[in-house]
Amino acid sequence: MENFLEPLNRILVAVRDIGAHGGLMFQAHPSAETRQAGRELSEAADRFFNEFRVNEAIYRAVQSIDLVGADRETIVGVEKLLRDMRRAGVELVPVRRKQVVELANQIDRDSNEFAANIASSNRAVAAESSDALRGLPPDFLSSHSPGADGRIRISTKYPDLFPVMSYAADPELRRRLLHEFLNVAFPENLPVLDQLLGDRREFVRLLGYADYAQYAVEDKMTGRPQVVAEFLDRIAQLLDAPAKVDLARLLARKRKDLPGADELEDWDGRLWPGGYYATKIREEEYGVDMRRVREYLPYPAVRDGLFDLCRELFGLTFRPHTETPLWHPSVEAYDVERNGVPIGRCYFDFVPRPGKFNHAAQFDVRTGVIGSGLPQGALLCNFLSEQAPREHVRMEYRDVVTFFHEFGHLLHHLLSGDGRWLYTTMGFAEWDFIEAPSQLFEEWARDPATLARFARNPDTGETMPADLVARLKKSEAVGRAYGVLRQVFLATLSLEIYLRDPKGLDTSRLFREVYEKRLGVPYNPEYHWITSFGHLTGYSAIYYTYLWSAVIARDLLTPFEAKGSLTDRATAERYVTEVLAPGGSRPAAELVRRFLGRDYTFDAYERWVLAGTTSS
Ligand SMILES: [Zn+2]
């Protein structure tokens, strides 16, 4: 084992980290040449793994290792490695192996092409005058001055998009911006998607699977597409009536402005949960003006409050790291210690730039395996307007929740970084569990005691009033059922598109059919949302992971709720030990069972998802 498995493990970790570094530069670097170089590096590492996985000599050698008396982590690591190699085609005849490697390389290129087209999109609308920006918060207005032509540029990047969709009183501005946003990477990504679907179908056909969905879920908690489909139907059925109530409530509010209105438009909140009329209802019925909430959320205070929380919960400290040159002046780096012991490093890249990843995600930078260095992770998000001065830039509350979500992934990565084998790290945990720690950590951004730590208006020194925090939390249920149903739609689409035969498949038409079936409202054929649905590459058929993991996350919350505090240190410590630290070294269901003392159930999730329809 020392002579074979350990050196092999070190090589695999090293190549994975090189690929991860390339991947990060591909998604984040300001220079187009460096992005291209990063992409090539990432694809070279992918090619190495694609070749490695079908190496029969290594496969046989790993199979022959005597595991008698080995520890459980090693046994699991070896089992997962062998399964990964089998799933890559190592047991095929040599000529077939060559074909699957070529297809796997092509799939990686297709996926990167799809991502690059989304990132390089530079769509925007022009507002003729500041009158068109009526309703937007003061800090947004002061960071959006008219250009030389007197017009104000509003881009489809999130720091512009989210406030406009929530606050802009001018429906025409919302309509135009949503139209641009839902045409990001159109038309260039349609043929890329066709290519990707075709290559994946061919890849799994050679491996003996009927479709890519079957392949994608085989090693997940669900195991079979049928289980996923039934799970999605279950939630859809649960939300059928409540989602209609949500839409009726938005339409009723719209009629106060426009008495004759006979329908809700997509840009009123029908396609966009948390949109304009939901924001109005939160303001008028719950007394929560989201623009006022924003005033209490300057970015530096949110970040420091989060660090403070992590010190109390998990014994973590974050020290600015200044030794390494970073890829952009706005990027921050922190060395992380736990109870005084270094455990890794993290990077925050929060300002949008041309060519940068346009969504929000945690990217592994270094894996974190004993003997191969500490883990490092980067959060690539788009929270902060590039025009606003850093110390005063405000965050949308939904972005604070997203920050906590991505930070939940980062915690999982950093706190599981002392395992022995690549194949037992967090990156090899079941992917339909991976969104549970992140969605659980969102709850701290909704916790009054946590918000009280950092939500303070720097202009007045005033802390966010406790009653506002309480109303904010309650008002979050507005539109929840419809918002979750929209997730069910995206999950169904992701499954369906990988169940179908791609030959002759009209993906735009499928998108529209599934949308209308799940949401019960028409889909505007001028939109091409599918071309910027970035999860169709990496997550492929398993977008359902958000919903599946949310069910687990709601139950993981119950031990904290039973203590009456989200900052109960003993529960937090147990959560780290039982759930986060083991990474991918045990089945997720077992980790959850050890933490809860029982199997998880659907109950806590059902209560949460229906909360908006049972109270107001
Ligand atoms: Zn996530």
Q: Yes or no: say if 413 and 74 are a contact pair by the CB < 8 Å rule.
A: no
> Torsion over CA of 414, 418, 420 and 423, rounded to 10 degrees?
-10
Tens digits of per-residue pLDDT, 372-383?
999 999 999 999
pLDDT band at 518 (very low <50, low <70, confident <90, very high): very high
- What is the CA(398)–ligand 1 centre distance, in A? 14
**φ and ψ at residue 336, rounded to 5 degrees:** -115, 130
- Kindly report which listed range (293-307, 498-512, 600-614) carries the lowest average pLDDT score: 600-614
pLDDT of residue 585: 97
- What is the CA(549)–ligand 1 centre distance, in A? 10
- What is the CA(441)–ligand 1 centre distance, in A? 10
Compute CA distances 522 → 105, 271, 527, whole Å.
Answer: 38, 10, 11
Q: pLDDT > 90: what percent of the chain?
A: 94
- What is the CA(119)–ligand 1 centre distance, in A? 19
Q: Is the pLDDT reported for residue 114 higher than 60? A: yes
Tens digits of per-residue pLDDT, 444-475?
999 988 998 899 999 899 999 989 999 999 99
- What is the CA(551)–ligand 1 centre distance, in A? 14
Q: Is the pLDDT reported for residue 155 higher than 60? A: yes
* Full-model pTM: 0.95
pLDDT band at 391 (very low <50, low <70, confident <90, very high): confident
- What's the chain's average pLDDT? 95
- What is the CA(503)–ligand 1 centre distance, in A? 32
- What is the CA(347)–ligand 1 centre distance, in A? 16
- What is the CA(390)–ligand 1 centre distance, in A? 26
pLDDT of residue 171: 96
Tens digits of per-residue pLDDT, 537-560?
999 999 999 999 999 999 999 999
Q: Is the pLDDT reported for residue 615 higher than 50? A: no
Neighbours of 226 (CB within 10 A): 12
- What is the CA(411)–ligand 1 centre distance, in A? 12
- What is the CA(128)–ligand 1 centre distance, in A? 37
pLDDT of residue 342: 98
- What is the CA(408)–ligand 1 centre distance, in A? 8
Neighbours of 139 (CB within 10 A): 20
- What is the CA(325)–ligand 1 centre distance, in A? 27
Q: Does domain 295-476+545-614 have CATH number 1.10.1370.40?
A: yes
pLDDT of residue 1: 64
- What is the CA(438)–ligand 1 centre distance, in A? 6
**Beta carbons within 8 Å of 382's beta carbon, 6+ residues apart:** 157, 158, 159, 350, 351, 352, 356, 358, 359, 360
pLDDT band at 392 (very low <50, low <70, confident <90, very high): confident
Tens digits of per-residue pLDDT, 116-146?
999 999 999 999 988 899 999 998 998 899 9
pLDDT of residue 130: 83
Q: Is the pLDDT reported for residue 5 higher than 80? A: yes
Q: Is the pLDDT reported for residue 281 higher than 90? A: yes
pLDDT of residue 614: 55
Q: b/e string for 53-64 if b means 16 or more Cβ within 10 A? A: bbeeebbeebee
pLDDT band at 289 (very low <50, low <70, confident <90, very high): very high
pLDDT of residue 594: 98
The two tokens of residue 538 are 């990496």
- What is the CA(435)–ligand 1 centre distance, in A? 5
The single-letter code of the amino acid at 209 is Y
Domain boundaries in the chain? 124-181, 295-476+545-614
Compute CA distances 363 → 20, 125, 236, 286, 568, whole Å.
Answer: 8, 30, 31, 37, 29
